[in-house]
Every structure is written in structure tokens, then in C-alpha cells.
């Protein structure tokens, strides 16, 4: 047991070091490249310089949001895959992204962000995600118990309905509104509102800490609901609470950063093959790796077609999809 704990500590330290390296890369590359060795001097004595302005006003906020969104989506993926015992489930499978996208599309089409301020985009996005969560949750309950497989199917169907409704709005709106909807759907860490960034970060960290309260039920659910109940786990309550935690993590992330695909699917699966299926290490390792992945993808999106910037969803989709296919071709999925 001690050797296993020591191994987990080493893995966590290596991942944290990798996160620091990813942060260093993100701080130094972009339209204006900055030497890594100049960073301490710029941050300490460079106030007023263009380098300090870029780092403090653009790159650091994007890094914080990348940590929050990448970590939250990966953590949400781990939890949902643990509930369903299915490595192909991800946060967006439950219709969360569809609901959020529909909320944002309505906001743009109706011009609510011009009437009440830009905060209406994430607010209506989160509202759409929350309504989807509530709808899936209550439709899936029968006689006080959640029907896991039905919940998955209901989430997929609601996602299709929301996507179809959004496409209807896109078909009847103006070109300017259409551009705004499409850009938001592809995802971005370029969020000017610092309050939203810190709210997302706080929710992600709180979700990580809260998930460890349910690490024993999650580990027990790997054996199936019936065996988990025999081990003394209140599976019905645990599944309900875990579903709410995972959904809120994904809902807040989508509302602020848009639809960033593959993170909640690929990262949990990669870490499961690397560190095993014990959620005591899987939760934290997936959170950190998701943060690293999204920060690096954001860095690539900023420099790939300079002076323009690619939506981060394009990068995560390409790299995440390729990595996932390579892993599946070499190693079978495992859960127990």
C-alpha cells in the first residue's frame, strides 16, 4: 500500500511539473515571442511594457481559464464514465453542450447580449446547460431511482433536439449572428471578463475536492451497481450527486469557453491506461492532464496561422481524435 501511495505521489508531482512547463510555454509563445529567461524580470520590473501587458492581460487569464476548463471537462468525463462504466461517455454525451449552445444561439439571435451586456452569453449558456441537466435527470428517474442506461439515451436524444433547434436558428438569422454562433461553438479561451474566469476556476477546484468525497462510491461502481450496494454504497444517492457534480462542471466550462470537444473523452481514457482505474489517482491525474492538454492546444491555436488565431476546438478535435484512435488501435479499453 505504501509503495502504491508513493507511486501516486510521484505521478502527481511529475504531472504538476509538466503543468508548469506547459504554463511556461504558453507564456512565451504567441504573436510576440518572449524569452523564458526574461519572464522573471518582465513580471517583476516590466510594468508598463508591452510584454508585461500581453502576459498579464492576455496570456495569464487564458492559462487560468485553460486550467479550469481542461481540468473540469476531464474530471467530468472521469465521473460520468465511472457512473456508466463506459469509456465512450463524455460530458457532451448528456446533451450539456447542446443545451448550452442553444442558449447562446438564442442570446445572439435575440440580441440580448447587446441589450443587457456580454455576460448574457455565458449566463444563457449555463442556463441552457442547466435546463438540459434537469430535464435528463427527472426524465430518467422512475420510482425514486435513476435508470442509468435510459439516462444516457435521453441525454443523447435531447442533445440531438437541441442541436436541431440551434441549426434552425442559424438558418433563419443574419450572417453576423451566424458568425458569432459558429465562432462560439468552436470554443475559445479568450474571455475578457475576469470574474467569469475566476468563477470557472473556483468551480473546477471545488468540483475536484468534492469528487474525492465520492471516491469510494466511484471505485465501488466499477464493479456494477449491484456489487456496489453489497459493499454498503448507497448507489442511488451517489449516482445522483455525482451526476450533478459532473454536469455542473461541464455546464460552467461550456458556458464560459464554448464547446471544446474531446477533452472529457480522451484525457480520462489516456490516464486510465497510464495510472490505472483507481479513482484516488485517476481523478487528480485526469484534472492536471486535462489542464496541460488545453493549455498546450491553446498555445498551438495562437501560433499556427499567425497573425490569426484558430478556435481551440479545432485543435482539441484533431489532436484528441488522433490520439484516441492511436490508443484504441494499440490497447483495448479497460475499466476494472
DSSP assignment string, 174-223: -HHHHHHHHHHHT--S----HHHHHHHHHHHHHHHHHHGGGHHHHHHHTT
The grid coordinates listed for 103 are 442558449
57 within some domain: no
Phi (first) and psi of residue 188, to 5 degrees = -165, 150
- What CATH number is given to the structural domain containing 240? 1.10.3470.10
Q: Total domain count for the chain? A: 1
DSSP for 258-322 reads ----SHHHHHHHHHHHHH-S-HHHHHHHHHHHHHHHHHHHHHHHHHTTTTS---HHHHHHHHHHH
Residue 143, pLDDT score: 56
53 within some domain: no
Which DSSP letter does residue 144 get?
Answer: T
Residue 76, pLDDT score: 92
User: What residues pair up with 146 in beta bridges, in sequence order?
Assistant: 141
Residue 118, pLDDT score: 67
Residue 335, pLDDT score: 52
308 within some domain: yes
> What's the rounded Cα separation, in Å, for the pair 113 and 310?
24
For the chain, 336 residues long, the average pLDDT of each consecutive 10-residue run is 82 94 90 81 78 87 94 92 82 79 84 73 82 81 67 82 85 82 81 87 94 90 80 81 87 85 86 87 94 93 82 84 75 52
112 within some domain: yes
173 within some domain: yes
The residue behind cell 495510472 is 275
The grid coordinates listed for 91 are 460530458
109 within some domain: yes
Which DSSP letter does residue 49 get?
Answer: S
Q: Tell me which residue range forms the domain holding 136.
A: 63-330
Q: Report the candidate in 21, 43, 323, 73 with the shortest Cα–Cα distance to residue 189.
A: 73
Q: Report the candidate in 163, 157, 170, 54 with the shortest Cα–Cα distance to residue 109.
A: 170
249 within some domain: yes
75 within some domain: yes
Amino acid at each position: 500500500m505504501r509503495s502504491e501511495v508513493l507511486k501516486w505521489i510521484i505521478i502527481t508531482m511529475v504531472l504538476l511539473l509538466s503543468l508548469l512547463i506547459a504554463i511556461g510555454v504558453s507564456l512565451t509563445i504567441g504573436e510576440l515571442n518572449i524569452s523564458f529567461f526574461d519572464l522573471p524580470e518582465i513580471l517583476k520590473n516590466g510594468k508598463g511594457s508591452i510584454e508585461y501587458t500581453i502576459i498579464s492581460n492576455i496570456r495569464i487569464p487564458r492559462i487560468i481559464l485553460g486550467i479550469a476548463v481542461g481540468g473540469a471537462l476531464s474530471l467530468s468525463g472521469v465521473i460520468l464514465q465511472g457512473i456508466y462504466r463506459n469509456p465512450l461517455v463524455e460530458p457532451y454525451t448528456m446533451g450539456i453542450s447542446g443545451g448550452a449552445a442553444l442558449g447562446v444561439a438564442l442570446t445572439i439571435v435575440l440580441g440580448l447580449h447587446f441589450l443587457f451586456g456580454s455576460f448574457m452569453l455565458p449566463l444563457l449558456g449555463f442556463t441552457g446547460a442547466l435546463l438540459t441537466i434537469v430535464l435528463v435527470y427527472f426524465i430518467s428517474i422512475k420510482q425514486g431511482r435513476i435508470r442509468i442506461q435510459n439516462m444516457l439515451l435521453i441525454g443523447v436524444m435531447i442533445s440531438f433536439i437541441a442541436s436541431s433547434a440551434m441549426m434552425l436558428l442559424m438558418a433563419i438569422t443574419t450572417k453576423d449572428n451566424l458568425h458569432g454562433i459558429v465562432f462560439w461553438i468552436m470554443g475559445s479561451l479568450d474571455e475578457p471578463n475576469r470574474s467569469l474566469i475566476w468563477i470557472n476556476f473556483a468551480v473546477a477546484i471545488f468540483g475536484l475536492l468534492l469528487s474525492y468525497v465520492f471516491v469510494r462510491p466511484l471505485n465501488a461502481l466499477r464493479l456494477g451497481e449491484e456489487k456496489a450496494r453489497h459493499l454498503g454504497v448507497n448507489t442511488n444517492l451517489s449516482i445522483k450527486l455525482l451526476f450533478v457534480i459532473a454536469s455542473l462542471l461541464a455546464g460552467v466550462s461550456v458556458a464560459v469557453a464554448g464547446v471544446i470537444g474531446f477533452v472529457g473523452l480522451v484525457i480520462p481514457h489516456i490516464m486510465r491506461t497510464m495510472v490505472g482505474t483507481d479513482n484516488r489517482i485517476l481523478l487528480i491525474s485526469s484534472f492536471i492532464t486535462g489542464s496541460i492538454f488545453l493549455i498546450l492546444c491553446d498555445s498551438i491555436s495562437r501560433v499556427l496561422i499567425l497573425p490569426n488565431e484558430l478556435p481551440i476546438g479545432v485543435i482539441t478535435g484533431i489532436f484528441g481524435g488522433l490520439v484516441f484512435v492511436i490508443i484504441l488501435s494499440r490497447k483495448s479499453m479497460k475499466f476494472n
